[in-house]
Amino acid sequence: MKVEKFTKEDMCAAISLAQHAWHGYYDGFPAEYIRCIAACIVLHNYTDADLAFKITDNGEMKGIIFGTRKGKIVGLSVWVHEQVKSMNPQEKELLERLNDYMDEADRNTIAQMDDSDVKLSLFISIQKGCGKELLRTIMQEFRAMNAQRMFLWTDTSCDHDYYPAHGFTLASQYRDTHYSTNETDYMTYIYWKPLE
């Protein structure tokens, strides 16, 4: 396994990773639409090129990790507006909802951060052991810039139990209104970890 800087040339492979990670939530939709959802997730979280890494095994990308300095949010409204022009009403609503959800979760996370804190904005690993290496690498980068704490948000669609098992503390949690129903609570969790 090899950890390297992520570049814009890696974007297509990163979108494929995200498509693999979230395709199950969009069963019944065309692959092209699921790829658009994946692109929204990756583009939304790619804010600081110097804090973006990939891990490869035998030349194939197996994971990515993106970090973000406090206060940085990618505004994808124009991109989303362009994408939805060719979508049916259901697809349009789902993409707009995803973008709004990620914006809100970012704002809620940033509100809990100090100026010396950083955010882990995207973390995808599809091979055992890759996640640990990516997390180690990003934490080294955060420490090198004298960051004090690392924050992240996750939700019930992700493996959120991973974080407390790896030294993260739950800062807050809330019932998200974008995805919750009368029958099911869709929870968003904000975690932090000291970078000592």
CATH of the domain at 110: 3.40.630
Q: Between 89-110 and 77-84, two packed helices, what is the crossing angle to 10 degrees?
A: 170
Domain count for the chain, please give it. 1
pLDDT tens digits for range 173-188:
999 988 888 999 999 9
pLDDT tens digits for range 69-108:
988 888 899 999 999 999 999 999 999 999 999 999 999 9
CA terminus-to-terminus distance, the chain:
26
pLDDT tens digits for range 146-167:
999 999 999 988 878 888 988 9
Q: Is the pLDDT of residue 40 over 80?
A: yes
On whether residue 156 sits in a domain, the answer given is no
Q: How far apart (Å, rounded) are the C-alpha atoms in residues 65 and 51? A: 8
What integer pLDDT is reported at residue 173 of this predicted model?
96
Q: Is the pLDDT of residue 28 over 80?
A: yes
On whether residue 180 sits in a domain, the answer given is no
On whether residue 36 sits in a domain, the answer given is yes
**Residue-range definition of the domain harbouring residue 121:** 2-146
The confidence band for 19, taking pLDDT boundaries of 50, 70 and 90, is very high
**Residue 137 in tokens:** 């690498």
Is the Cβ–Cβ distance between 176 and 152 less than 8 Å? no
On whether residue 124 sits in a domain, the answer given is yes
On whether residue 40 sits in a domain, the answer given is yes
What integer pLDDT is reported at residue 162 of this predicted model?
83
On whether residue 84 sits in a domain, the answer given is yes
On whether residue 138 sits in a domain, the answer given is yes
Q: How far apart (Å, rounded) are the C-alpha atoms in residues 58 and 92? A: 38
